[in-house]
């Protein structure tokens, strides 16, 4: 495993777990709580993506004989900053809608 992956995978993975938890919790709230928790979930996943890419490239570039690919981080870091909210929004929305569909089934009384 390269140094980029050693930093990116745990950082982004932790952000995804935290964002999914917040999106799941948002599905059981009122409208204001849903909005705030979903925005926080998207921001969490987006920030973990940015930090994972940034820290991953920093670790990769700090190697004594770093390959040339380690220094071509401009596009990926810029892309994660500018467009990282899109996959974060889709992932959080999927978890939110699954939670929204599953919660009423779980809370129905049994006949």
- Tell me which residue range forms the domain holding 61: 3-105
CA distance 12 to 32: 27
Mean pLDDT of the chain: 86
Mean pLDDT of 66-79: 74
Residue 88 lies in a domain: yes
* pLDDT tens per residue, range 10-38: 999 999 999 999 999 998 888 898 999 99
How many domains is the chain built from?
1
Angstrom distances, CA of residue 93 to CA of 20, 24, 43, 50, 106 = 9, 9, 13, 19, 20
- Tell me if 40 is assigned to some domain: yes
pLDDT of residue 28: 81
37: in domain:
yes
Tell me what percent of the residues of the chain surpass a pLDDT of 90.
Answer: 47
28 inside domain: yes
**Integer Cα distance of 57 and 86 in angstroms:** 22
Predicted local distance difference test score (pLDDT) of residue 4: 85
Residue 74 pLDDT exceeds 80: no
**Residue 73 predicted with pLDDT over 80:** no
Q: Are 6 and 59 in contact (CB under 8 A)?
A: yes
Domain assignment present for residue 14? The answer is yes
Q: Flag whether 47 is in a domain.
A: yes
For residue 107, the model assigns a pLDDT of 55
Residue 85 has pLDDT above 70, yes or no: yes
* 110 found inside a domain: no
Asked whether residue 111 is assigned to any structural domain, the reply reads no
């Amino acid at each position: 495993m390269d140094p980029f992956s050693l930093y990116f995978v745990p950082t982004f993975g932790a952000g995804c777990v935290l964002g999914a938890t917040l999106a799941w919790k948002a599905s059981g709230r009122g409208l204001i709580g849903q909005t705030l928790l979903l925005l926080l979930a998207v921001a969490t996943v987006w920030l973990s993506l940015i930090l994972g890419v940034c820290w991953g490239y920093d670790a990769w570039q700090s190697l004594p004989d770093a390959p040339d690919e380690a220094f071509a981080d401009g596009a990926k870091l810029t892309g994660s900053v500018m467009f990282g909210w899109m996959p974060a929004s889709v992932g959080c929305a999927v978890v939110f809608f699954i939670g929204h569909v599953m919660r009423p089934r779980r809370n129905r009384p049994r006949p």
